[in-house]
A = this chain, B = another copy of it.
Amino acid sequence: MESTTLEPTARESAHSEPVLYLLPSLLDAEWGGDHIGSRVREILAQLEYLVVESEREARRMIRRMLPGVDLNRYTLVLLNEHQREPRYGDFLEPMHRGHSMGLMSDAGLPVLADPGSGLVLEAHRQGWKVEPLSGPSSLMLAWMASGLNGQHMEFHGYLPIQASDRIRQLREMEQRSQRTHQTQVWIETPYRNDALLESALRCLKPNTLLCVACEITGGPKEWIKTRRVDEWVEAIQRGEGPSLHKRPCVFLLQCP
């Protein structure tokens, strides 16, 4: 198939197999545009079909990554946690017509603590090439910056909402780390962060290492601190505790 147009996607789809690209988005839409390599922008400029977590955030992110781009070139299809049993086969239909596609979350890397794994698995089933593009992942950056075990880690996503279940899970994570010294990682809905830190400091052992990594964007609001549980308690008593309310955080613990 020959293509006579210079339109990038047509060129791309004419000369190569379609690819499902996993595109990072920025962690803070207001800051830090230079954390993404030029390859992400190149690919985004070529694509027409994007599966996104929300249309509004996707448009905002595209505008930030490609200032001046005509947003009308993109066909956005929604994939988020509100959909029960999404028909992934239908999502990938443009690939059968020769178009590469992109998958993008509201913030950070798609799939990780975000929707999308079902779509990627379907792409593997259908035999398409899947290409992940690197970008900021708050989980990975928090793990690296925590100073906790970098050789063995368990990520739990969100903890249970119910207080007693949450405390049980905090203790279980601590016990697992005690046996294996692995780093245990979790996230929380931002408005529950302060309550979570309070529970953690009440139920974990004094010498357990706890890291709170807050607003990891490389921007001025970023705040990452690792202390022993007893040191956290003392810091808070001295009035040096952080306010985590509504600030996206990653929490990590490790038994020494």
Contact = CB atoms under 8 A, between A and B. Distances in A.
Question: Chain A interface secondary structure, helix, strand, loop or mixed?
Answer: mixed
Interface string A132-149: 111111011111111111
A149 B120 CA distance: 10
A175 B157 CA distance: 20
Number of copies: 2
A232 B134 CA distance: 27
Contact of A134 (B118, B135, B151): B135
A67 B23 CA distance: 27
Give the interface size bracket for A toward B: 35 or more
Contacts of A137: 134, 137, 140
A156 interface: yes
A147 B120 contact: yes
A146 B131 contact: no
B113 A151 contact: yes
Contacts of A227: 124
A249 to B, nearest CB: 15
20 contacts: A34-B38, A34-B39, A116-B150, A118-B147, A120-B145, A120-B146, A121-B148, A121-B226, A124-B147, A131-B224, A132-B141, A132-B144, A132-B216, A132-B224, A134-B136, A140-B140, A151-B157, A152-B156, A153-B155, A154-B154
